[in-house]
Structure 1
């Protein structure tokens, strides 16, 4: 294909009009490194001139999940082979800044790296048993007791009701740079993001409300239906709210360094209560609980909220400061800015959780959003 042909396909891709064959052609074209550079520049210029454009990433996710590939359009590109390249591309969408370097003096953007100890996150957690002992769980390490098994990536509890009226609780703590999942005795599956902690019963009492507590952090819940447990409801407690469900999938984000708790409903129905008000969420809705007595609700792009569970981080109009906060948890690092104005620069894009931090920072530097960066042990300075 000629350069002119590819420009037309890229334009159709940006506007969600590309066909399946055009998407495949674009993927093959991007196999050449020099073409990837052209692709980046085209996207950067486009978003700088059209800052109101935002990909419909939820539609992308749904289209990708649809098995009928004959009707898929470019919206599915969030998860197509193109993003083996574009996963590191963060597109500039903020008004007020123009970071293309055409009229700027050339600066030395060589990064300074001193004893880089920043590692990609992995499966790891600490399990605290009811009697108080703790076990470190990690990828490749098995752990087994009478009522649970762990393969180093998840814990699976035996599906038996409690035999004693006194419930025994376990705690699962995920450190920065970690992730883990747990399957409770009732079959409910919970995925935990970095820097999170949850408390749950080793076994539930038959017929009684099944209750767990998200102490802090982020967790995705796939709850087994109450009809399978003699009508027993399922509740997720937190010190700022309580979520009651009958059988559904939802995400709760309640980090200690954030002032709000975000509950996102994927499917089913949940009631969110802060003690003063209760709201019932519909799929694709998110509740926001804070200091106010009122609970805010809004429609959201589900994929951006739950993509972490699928191995990627999806950002839509997020500030560089917010993005770095998310990455800090996964890479277990600290980030500071030499220039406070950089904190508010906003991006749209997708990052793979298996990428090295240098790859991400090099992309942001290449696109001109920062001049350079410095890594010293587990600390990063953006310049």
Structure 2
């Protein structure tokens, strides 16, 4: 069940359908009932201190400014979610919840930022980060994004490749020469041609990590399809928006279709995805499973948001470890399966995020330099 339904229940704004969903969840176990009461008590204790009117004005401003963009609905969803998480964060940090269970390092752990390394065709490296610019014949970077331009030469372009590598604690945006837009998450690497050959398939490779693709339609490129290679899987695209997660330390590749149409090719098997579906390819069993998912939860990272929807603590800490460049150790393995619901900003200090999680799960943790120890 989504965390926002708990907030709506507290405010008596549930629809009839949502009331049924909430009641089913609430009556499932005493754990759910205790969880709800804890959130309700904390929320009612401090919600008056949150300037909700100002927050909603900010949301409305985003709606007006983004209506011309077909991605505006994601910005709105993120803004609404942030009101909930901001309210939630306020009472957890104001009352210093469970500080007796934590030991915070004197030096704060750094928040992730825009940064990457560009590897050129001759093997040389270019560091991309805020405050540094890079320009060449058909490449420009202001340190926060990288943009490629189509070659103006009349001769047939030669296929040469660049690599964009994003480290732990980083993220980066690149616009390819065909106007395809790619957001790369922490600990990711993308291989792509500097210029695509007109009419021929446009192929890139997500060597590892996570990327969100907004693909330029094939109709604008003489019908040329767009293909994304990921380890043992190939994604064939006509023009669409989708997310691919293929980390080296995970045995599964997750492909989530936001809009349009893609097909997955694994060996001789071909599987089509519909918008709102996610495929999970398990490299050990060589199988593909399809499921309907909330695409916002899968793609919110590129909007600067962590969306944890009933996610086990082990998976949450893996996400946080990549963004904050930390290591995580679980002393008690049972705690790995404790689940958390919440939407949090990626520009928050790690200590603040841990406090929010701690306020509902009551986990005990310590911070030893760049290692989080969960007991």
Tell me if TM exceeds 0.5: yes
> Counterpart in 1 of 2:304?
311
- Indicate the SS of the match to 2:100: coil
- Indicate the SS of the match to 1:208: coil
Question: Over residues 293-325 of structure 1, what are the superposed CA-to-partner deviations in whole Å (9 max), with x where a residue is unaligned?
Answer: 432111111011000011101111110111000
Task: For 1:1-383, list aligned pairs within 5 A.
Answer: 10-13=10-13, 15=14, 41-42=39-40, 78-79=80-81, 81-86=83-88, 109-116=100-107, 118-160=109-151, 163-164=155-156, 166-290=158-282, 291-371=284-364, 373-383=365-375
Distance apart, 1:112 and its partner CA: 1.9
Question: What is the rounded CA distance, in whole Å, between the counterparts of 2:312 and 2:99 in structure 1?
Answer: 25
Distance apart, 1:367 and its partner CA: 3.2
Question: What is the rounded CA distance, in whole Å, between the counterparts of 2:250 and 2:257 in structure 1?
Answer: 20
Distance apart, 1:140 and its partner CA: 2.3
TM-score of the aligned structures, taking structure 1 as reference length: 0.76
Relative contact order (C-alpha < 8 Å, sep 6+): which is higher? 1
Note if contact 2:255-2:280 (Cα within 8 Å) is conserved in structure 1. yes
Distance apart, 1:215 and its partner CA: 0.2
**Per residue, is there more helix in 1 or in 2?**
2
Question: What is the rounded CA distance, in whole Å, between the counterparts of 2:150 and 2:83 in structure 1?
Answer: 39
Question: What is the rounded CA distance, in whole Å, between the counterparts of 2:189 and 2:78 in structure 1?
Answer: 34
Question: What number of residue pairs does the alignment pair up?
Answer: 319
Question: What is the rounded CA distance, in whole Å, between the counterparts of 1:239 and 1:282 in structure 2?
Answer: 22
Greater shift, 180-189 or 111-120, is seen at: 111-120
> Counterpart in 2 of 1:102?
none
Note if contact 1:206-1:229 (Cα within 8 Å) is conserved in structure 2. yes
Question: Over residues 21-41 of structure 1, what are the superposed CA-to-partner deviations in whole Å (9 max), with x where a residue is unaligned?
Answer: xxxxxxxxxxxxxxxxx9963
- Indicate the SS of the match to 1:120: coil
Note if contact 2:245-2:255 (Cα within 8 Å) is conserved in structure 1. yes
Question: What is the rounded CA distance, in whole Å, between the counterparts of 2:41 and 2:257 in structure 1?
Answer: 32
Question: Over residues 143-193 of structure 1, what are the superposed CA-to-partner deviations in whole Å (9 max), with x where a residue is unaligned?
Answer: 111110001111000123784553110000000000001000000000000
Question: What is the rounded CA distance, in whole Å, between the counterparts of 2:187 and 2:256 in structure 1?
Answer: 19
Distance apart, 1:268 and its partner CA: 0.5
CA RMSD of aligned residues (A): 3.1
Question: What is the rounded CA distance, in whole Å, between the counterparts of 2:203 and 2:90 in structure 1?
Answer: 39
CA, structure 1 residues 272+368, in 2 after alignment: closer, same or farther (shift >3 Å)?
closer
Question: What is the rounded CA distance, in whole Å, between the counterparts of 2:370 and 2:80 in structure 1?
Answer: 30
> Counterpart in 1 of 2:29?
none
- Indicate the SS of the match to 2:159: coil
Distance apart, 1:77 and its partner CA: 7.8
Question: What is the rounded CA distance, in whole Å, between the counterparts of 2:168 and 2:159 in structure 1?
Answer: 29
Note if contact 1:88-1:351 (Cα within 8 Å) is conserved in structure 2. no
Note if contact 1:213-1:236 (Cα within 8 Å) is conserved in structure 2. yes
Note if contact 1:119-1:356 (Cα within 8 Å) is conserved in structure 2. yes
CA, structure 1 residues 235+354, in 2 after alignment: closer, same or farther (shift >3 Å)?
same
Greater shift, 342-351 or 362-371, is seen at: 362-371
- Indicate the SS of the match to 1:213: strand
Question: What is the rounded CA distance, in whole Å, between the counterparts of 1:44 and 1:65 in structure 2?
Answer: 30
Distance apart, 1:12 and its partner CA: 2.1
Question: What is the rounded CA distance, in whole Å, between the counterparts of 1:227 and 1:89 in structure 2?
Answer: 51
Note if contact 1:304-1:314 (Cα within 8 Å) is conserved in structure 2. yes
TM-score of the aligned structures, taking structure 2 as reference length: 0.77
- Indicate the SS of the match to 2:287: coil
Question: What is the rounded CA distance, in whole Å, between the counterparts of 2:8 and 2:151 in structure 1?
Answer: 60
Question: Over residues 206-254 of structure 1, what are the superposed CA-to-partner deviations in whole Å (9 max), with x where a residue is unaligned?
Answer: 1111000000000000001111011111000112200000100000000
Note if contact 1:200-1:211 (Cα within 8 Å) is conserved in structure 2. yes
